[in-house]
């Protein structure tokens, strides 16, 4: 702006100084560094919730399969426990031997994948059933081993949850 009395040019445009910009950048960096650990905990909590839900769904389906076998709706040999031979049977279905049409009984729509299973490029080709550890009816709870049936499942991950318990003991 031109002041007519003195003939000098005065600028009305003002900007930020370098110090002001550095202070703003420092404050944003401090806030971002405080938010990052909270984000990581939120992601871990979400995966743990997925694990709880998947374990509950599969274990409920295994129990429903066993109940159907005990009720005589599923073919069971005398030397079998009544638990499914493989996890895929819960999704593929089994014939209802009490139904004259032999309609299939399905226990799950789809088999959930273990959310704690490592996700590298080669792991994407692993079937969902193979992401879980399987315990047969005959194996002890402290040392689960696969066998002729699937009595229970567990995560292969040995990492600890937010509650301090390893995921493979959930």
pLDDT tens for the chain, 170 residues long, are 555 555 555 556 677 888 989 999 999 998 888 888 888 899 999 999 999 999 999 999 999 999 999 999 999 888 889 999 999 999 999 999 998 998 999 999 999 999 998 866 565 788 899 999 999 999 988 888 999 999 999 999 989 999 999 998 99
3-class DSSP state for residue 73?
coil
pLDDT number for residue 64: 96
What are 73's two structure tokens? Answer: 């709706």
Give the dihedral of Cα atoms 88, 91, 95, 96; nearest 10 deg. 130
Give the containing element (helix H, strand E) for 59.
Answer: helix 18-70
Is 39 within a domain?
yes
Is 4 within a domain?
no
Number of domains in the chain: 1
Is 61 within a domain?
yes
Is 7 within a domain?
no
- Residue 108 structural domain: 18-169
DSSP of 3-27, one letter per residue? -TTT--B--------HHHHHHHHHH
Is 35 within a domain?
yes
Is 55 within a domain?
yes
Is 6 within a domain?
no
Q: If phi over 0 gives left and psi between -120 and 50 gives alpha, with beta otherwise, what is residue 93? A: left
Is 1 within a domain?
no
């Amino acid at each position: 702006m031109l002041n007519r009395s003195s003939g000098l040019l005065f600028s009305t445009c003002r900007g930020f100084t370098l110090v002001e910009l550095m202070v703003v950048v420092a404050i944003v960096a401090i806030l971002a560094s405080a938010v990052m650990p909270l984000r990581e905990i939120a992601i871990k909590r979400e995966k743990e919730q997925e694990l709880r839900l998947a374990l509950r769904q599969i274990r409920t389906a295994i129990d429903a399969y066993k109940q159907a076998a005990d009720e005589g709706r599923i073919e069971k040999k005398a030397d079998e426990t009544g638990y499914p031979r493989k996890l895929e049977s819960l999704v593929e279905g089994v014939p209802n031997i009490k139904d004259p049409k032999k309609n299939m009984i399905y226990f799950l729509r789809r088999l959930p994948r273990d959310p704690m299973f490592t996700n590298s490029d080669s792991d994407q080709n692993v079937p969902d059933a193979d992401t879980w550890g399987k315990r047969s009816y005959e194996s002890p709870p402290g040392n689960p081993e696969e066998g002729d049936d699937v009595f229970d499942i567990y995560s292969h991950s040995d990492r600890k949850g937010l509650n301090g318990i390893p995921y493979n003991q959930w």
